Chains A and B, each alone.
Chain A
Amino acid sequence: MKITGAEILLESLKREKVKVIFGYPGGSVLPFFDKLYDVKEPRFILTRHEQGAAHAADGYARATGEVGVCLATSGPGATNLVTGIATAYMDSVPMVALTGQVKTHLIGNDAFQEADVTGITRPITKHNFLVKDVRELAQTVKEAFHIARTGRPGPVLIDLPVDIQIASCEFHYPTKVDIRSYRPTFEGHKGQVKRIARAIEKAKRPVLYAGGGVVISGAAPELTELAKKMHIPVTVTLMGMGAFPDTHELSLGMLGMHGTVYANHAVQESDLIIAVGARFDDRVTGKLDEFAPHAKIIHIDVDPSSVSKNVDVDIPCIGEAKQVLKELLKMLRKEPDTSAWLKKIKFWKEKAPLKYKIDDKLRPQYVMEEIYAATGGDAIITTEVGQNQMWAAQYYQYTKPRTFLTSGGLGTMGYGFPAAIGAKVGKPDKTVFDIAGDGSIQMNIQELATAVLGKIHVKIAILNNCYLGMVRQWQELFYKKRYSHTHLNTCNCPDFVKVAEGYGAVGMRVTKKKDVRKAIEKAIKTPNTVLIDFVVEEEENVMPMVPAGKAIDRMIGGMA
């Protein structure tokens, strides 16, 4: 029986077990929206900007581990997805973005709402497709999902002209997918794993450096077992939060530009760095030629192009973190003697813990600590970008993977709120908090409608310091406090409480330390979207800090 392209797309998404689509309609997707009108599954969530849809699909994917799906019309609808797709690309998030396109014979004709979406998104997608024949649609969807979720995951875009949605053909959903030019490696080379095992057994000052790849691969249990059995301290990246419990005594916390002093010193004095699912990004390494000067480097990663890209690797091992760590655990025969090393680290932790000024002023770090306490450390935290993001990473203890959702690679302001919506849809029983800055929250504030009308009860904590915080901090430290256009005047405009109430959400303002805990607890108990405007110290800085171009043990606020 022949069915239309729109029906084929819907059926194919069902075969891929898609439960939710985030999107916004338009002319070039009318046929598909007409099919959505009759079904309850997949659930369609209407956002108020396509960027919100992309970030929501991303948040959903990170929280659940499934492929996030977003949908937009041609031209401006598709271009509005670009920031969200680039965000997912930089953080290896599995996503399928569906865009309508003008009729096939109008492509290249400067038609109404036409854009070269496959051209525009080529550098920011793992792969993309323009479907020009309805008979190829089912196969394309199957390939798209396969590419999105395997190997190093990433966003895949399918551009679907409106006449293809209307055309019809026989529907056969392929049972297998086999792309001859795409064969990601799952298992590590046994010889390499053996070399890694021997290196670990001999190490005196090893450090486990865990990144987003551990979370993506579901390798947190294996990583935790490895650290505990071999008595190796663990540092996590921004993307690897929760891969190892922050509360465990072997945890060094985050490393890098705003990492802990002891994590950075541990790396610099280490004789063996075991990198798992991390990519030696510049926020982590600081001055590259002074990074980990005494260490042999082991690198376990699924993407060969990340190995020896920035840092020369002594023992590479390509494969999925979970598979490789499992194999490694089987091969380890004895524990390295790290007792002296752990003693030294304990000394550093006592000498240079994370700290901030404790007085009666309301400081953002205090708000984060209270959110941690009030949620029992069991919430899903999403963040925006800048100071709010760093404090959320530092002052909340993450113990499980997929509980800290942040735009690490691209650093997209406006990510956190729609991502929180997506995360809540994927994990409805969890409390979800978006930690926002007063600048960032205004970038996708329109999604208050999505949350309120969709009854997706997320909580927003704005750390309102009236400035574009992180940029102001750099202007203070490196540009003699010349605050060029970073004073957002958010203390006067807008009134966030009124904005929240205007959308039918609950708005609260907190200006004193003693009111913080009550407000958070009230927010958690309120069966609605809640926005709390925390008016915090204006010129508070994120400390400690590795200044740009310096080695990571040369921190401002450090030990040197």
Chain B
Amino acid sequence: MQKFILSVLVENKFGVLARIVGLFSARGFNIDSLAVAETEDPCVSRMTMVVDADEKTLEQIKKQLNKLIDVIKVIDLTEKEYLDRELVLIRVKIDSKTRDRVIQVIETLSAKVVDVGRDSLAVEEVGDSKKINATLELLRPFGIMEIVRTGKIVIQAGKKE
């Protein structure tokens, strides 16, 4: 089992999201994360999915997706050159003793404090998986109260020649 990234272009029509998610649940495919929105063409939406599967299952997933009438194209990004991003909001516990150290840690990352509470801070971080994981690891010792993630979005790398 490993994680694969699929970028699926679909007609921006009523029920498309339900159809794809329904397909996955009906066939027992696992979705790790899902992000969907309009593209440069308002009639077309893009769904970026991180799926947890083995190679044979991935083949079935791609074929079943292609079978759906509203699916225009299925791109398997795992083997391609790509850039990935995710936005994460993290609520970190602070008290009078830890506050300064937490803010110091945040400053060494590119993260921002977006909200200050009585005993917590909300931190925003944007970046690829490496950066997001690093940020979470550095903040974990202080006590993470809540994590809200958008799920990965991916864009293919431009042709270099």
Cβ of B18 within 8 Å of any chain A Cβ, yes or no, is yes
Q: Which of A147, A303, A309 contacts B69 (CB 8 A)?
A: A147
B72 CB within 8 Å of chain A: yes
A180 CB-CB contact with B under 8 Å: yes
Q: A147-B69, A181-B11 are in contact. Are A305 and B18 (CB under 8 A)?
A: no
Convert B56-83 into 0s and 1s, putting 1 for each residue whose CB lies closer than 8 angstroms to a CB of A: 0001100110111111100000000000
Partner of A127, one of B14, B66, B69, B72: B69
- The answer to whether B64 and A126 touch across the interface, beta carbons within 8 angstroms, is no
- Given the complex of chains A and B, what is the CA–CA distance between A30 and B73 in angstroms? 40
Which chain B residues numbered 9 to 57 have a C-beta less than 8 Å away from chain A?
10-11, 14-15, 18-19, 22-23, 26
Q: Which residues of A13-72 are within 8 A (CB) of B?
A: none
Assess whether A308 is in contact with B59, with CB atoms less than 8 Å apart: yes
A191 contacts the other chain (Cβ, under 8 Å)?
Answer: no
Known: A122-B19, A123-B22, A130-B14. A309 touches B72 (CB 8 A): no
B26 contacts which of A118, A119, A123 (Cβ < 8 Å)? A123
B11 touches A305 (CB 8 A): no
Number of residues of chain B lying within 8 A (CB) of chain A? 20
Contact of A122 among B10, B15, B71, B72 (CB under 8 A): B15
A181 touches B63 (CB 8 A): no
Does A304 sit at the interface, judged by CB under 8 A? Answer: yes
User: By the criterion CB–CB under 8 Å, are A305 and B69 in contact?
Assistant: no
Known A123-B26, A305-B63, A305-B64; judge A181-B70 contact (CB<8 A).
yes
- Kindly provide the distance from the CB of B157 to the nearest chain A CB, expressed in whole angstroms: 26
Taken residue by residue from 299 to 330, chain A's Cβ proximity to chain B (1 for < 8 Å, 0 otherwise) reads as: 00001110011000000000000000000000
How far apart are the CA atoms of A123 and B64 in the complex, in Å? 12
Given A126-B69, A127-B69: A119 and B18 within 8 A (CB)? yes
Residues of A within 8 A of B19 (CB): 122
Query: Counting CB contacts under 8 A, is A560 at the interface?
Result: no
Interchain CA distance A305-B18 in the complex, whole Å: 20
**Closest partner residue, chain B, to A156 (CB atom):** B69
Inter-chain contact A179/B69, CB cutoff 8 Å: yes
Q: Which residues of B contact A123 (CB under 8 A)?
A: 22-23, 26
> B67-108 CB contact bits vs A (8 Å, 1 = yes)?
111111000000000000000000000000000000000000
Q: How far is the CB of A551 from chain B (nearest CB, A)?
A: 22
Q: Mark A92-122, 1 if CB is under 8 A from B, else 0.
A: 0000000000000000000000000011001
- Collect the chain A residues with CB atoms within 8 Å of residue B63's CB: 304-305
8 Å CB contacts to B: which residues of A175-209? 179-182
For A128, give the chain B residue with the smallest CB separation: B15
Given contacts A181-B11, A305-B60, A309-B60, contact A122 B69 (CB under 8 A): no
Residues of B near A182 (CB, < 8 A) are 69
Residues of A with C-beta under 8 A to B18: 119, 122
Q: In the complex, what's the smallest C-beta–C-beta distance from A102 to chain B, in angstroms?
A: 16
Compute how far the CA of A305 lies from the CA of B14 in the bound complex, rounded to whole angstroms.
25
Q: From residue 127 to 170 of chain A, which have CB atoms closer than 8 A to chain B?
A: 127-128, 130, 132, 147
CA distance A147 to B70 in the complex (A): 12
Alpha-carbon separation in the docked complex, A180 to B44 (Å)? 12
What residue in chain B is nearest A182 (Cβ atoms)?
B69
State the CA gap A549–B18 with chains docked (Å): 35
Known A182-B69, A305-B63; contact A118-B15, beta-carbon cutoff 8 A: yes
Rounded to whole Å, the gap between the CB of A212 and the closest CB of chain B is 17
Q: For the complex formed, measure the closest distance between the CB of B17 and the CB atoms of chain A, giving whole angstroms.
A: 11
Q: Which residue of A lies closest to B66 (CB)?
A: A304
Select from chain B the residue with minimum beta-carbon distance to A307: B63
Binding site for B on A (CB under 8 A): 118-119, 122-123, 126-128, 130, 132, 147, 179-182, 303-305, 308-309
Task: List 15 contacting pairs A-B, 8 Å CB cutoff, sorted by A.
Answer: A122-B19, A123-B23, A128-B15, A130-B15, A132-B14, A179-B69, A180-B72, A181-B10, A181-B68, A181-B70, A181-B72, A182-B69, A303-B67, A305-B66, A309-B60
Residues of B whose CB lies within 8 Å of any CB of A are 10-11, 14-15, 18-19, 22-23, 26, 59-60, 63-64, 66-72
Give 17 new A-B contacts, CB below 8 A, not counting A127-B69, A130-B15.
A118-B15, A122-B22, A123-B23, A126-B69, A127-B70, A130-B14, A147-B69, A181-B10, A181-B71, A181-B72, A182-B69, A303-B67, A304-B66, A304-B67, A305-B60, A308-B59, A309-B60
Q: Which 6 A-B pairs have the closest CB atoms?
A: A305-B63, A127-B69, A181-B72, A182-B69, A304-B63, A123-B26
